[in-house]
């Protein structure tokens, strides 16, 4: 059985923000990515457990275990059976109509309900041990509390296939994490009060006081600060050599606005900042006057 991406993996990174109410659209996209990341996280957890189980049964010094598989990544689901955490696309269970979220209650005549000696997941693994590739078996399951049955023809699964599935799920987490950061930055820029926004594409953190600088809450994707390498969490300490350290008559955020608002379009402003306690510096080109770039 050839390894293919998990059913839970989908491409949402190219969704465009075209809704007339961008704030609502952003929130919807953020929620969708968070849900996908949660699902991918379950996949990673289940596949790592499956790898560990396969390695334990491979024999000392061997990673080449192979055996019968239903194409299911099983997870603990109470005492009545095992939950289908994910499916191998095109695998035996998926072809037979089993779905992610189903609870497998029996493999053939072997019920998976817990007893004093074995938990359901242990019974599930033991049932797989007894199967041979190409053997049809009746799989009993619960879907939203409703019982069902499917005839599944066991296939072969080796560790290389599981590794491919794991890498696919990890890729989803990595891509979605980057996309989520971008959308959260846009959302923060939309929600921030005018006093927190700057013409350099920086959203300042106005919720806390830093005596010697201002914290970057977010940077506008594609804006001047983003292009200059600033990130959320950076603390800006000085502009063009002038410290932002607070004074009795002018806090750091006021000094920041005074220094940046005096710059003209085309000017290059030097920012000295701290990232994770390490000093750094960059230059930002002041954009031409006009409406704020879209977020």
pLDDT digits (tens, 9 = 90+) for 77-89: 678 888 887 777 6
Over residues 181-202, mean pLDDT? 62
Model confidence at 280: pLDDT above 90: yes
The CATH number of the domain where 159 resides is what?
A: 2.30.42.10
Rounded distance, CA 158 to CA 280, Å? Answer: 48
Q: Domain residues for 269?
A: 192-285
Task: Count other C-beta atoms under 10 Å from residue 254's C-beta.
Answer: 15
Residues in contact with 31: Cβ distance below 8 Å, sequence separation at least 6, in sequence order: none
Last residue of a domain, one of 175, 208, 238: 175
Of the ranges 60-69, 91-100, 219-228, 279-288, which one carries the lowest mean pLDDT score?
60-69
Last residue of a domain, one of 118, 146, 175: 175
**84 and 154 fall within a common domain:** yes
In a domain, 5, yes or no: no
Task: Say how many domains are in the chain.
Answer: 2
Structure tokens belonging to residue 272:
């000295």
Task: Count other C-beta atoms under 10 Å from residue 36's C-beta.
Answer: 20
Rounded distance, CA 30 to CA 21, Å? Answer: 14
Structure tokens belonging to residue 252:
């750091």
Q: What is the pLDDT confidence band of residue 264, given thresholds at 50, 70 and 90?
A: confident
User: What are the φ and ψ backbone dihedral angles of 261, each rounded to 5 degrees?
Assistant: -75, -15
Model confidence at 219: pLDDT above 50: yes
**258 and 142 fall within a common domain:** no
pLDDT of residue 208: 66
Last residue of a domain, one of 175, 210, 239: 175
Q: What is the pLDDT confidence band of residue 70, given thresholds at 50, 70 and 90?
A: confident
Over residues 215-231, mean pLDDT? 86
């Amino acid at each position: 059985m050839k390894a293919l991406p998990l059913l839970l993996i989908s491409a949402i990174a190219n969704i465009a923000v075209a809704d007339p109410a961008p704030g609502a659209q952003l929130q919807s996209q953020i929620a969708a990515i968070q849900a996908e990341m949660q699902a991918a996280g379950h996949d990673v957890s289940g596949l790592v457990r499956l790898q560990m189980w396969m390695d334990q049964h491979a024999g000392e010094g061997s990673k080449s275990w192979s055996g019968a598989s239903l194409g299911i990544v099983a997870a603990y689901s109470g005492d009545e059976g095992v939950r289908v955490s994910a499916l191998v696309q095109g695998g035996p269970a998926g072809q037979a109509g089993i779905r992610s979220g189903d609870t497998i209650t029996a493999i053939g005549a072997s019920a998976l309900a817990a007893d004093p000696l074995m938990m359901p997941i242990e019974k599930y693994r033991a049932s797989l041990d007894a199967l041979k590739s190409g053997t049809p078996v009746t799989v009993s399951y619960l879907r939203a509390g409703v019982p069902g049955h499917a005839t599944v023809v066991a296939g072969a699964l080796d560790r290389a296939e599981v590794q491919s599935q794991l890498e696919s799920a990890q890729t989803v987490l990595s891509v979605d994490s980057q996309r989520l950061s971008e959308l959260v930055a846009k959302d923060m820029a939309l929600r921030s009060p005018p006093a927190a926004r700057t013409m350099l594409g920086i959203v300042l953190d106005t919720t806390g006081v830093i005596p010697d600088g201002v914290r970057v809450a977010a940077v506008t994707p594609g804006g001047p600060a983003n292009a200059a390498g600033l990130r959320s969490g950076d603390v800006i300490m000085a502009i063009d050599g002038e410290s932002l350290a607070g004074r009795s008559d002018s806090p750091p955020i006021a000094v920041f606005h005074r220094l940046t608002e005096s710059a003209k379009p085309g000017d290059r402003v030097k920012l000295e900042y701290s990232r994770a306690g390490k000093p750094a510096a960059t230059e930002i080109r002041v954009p031409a006057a006009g409406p704020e770039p879209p977020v």
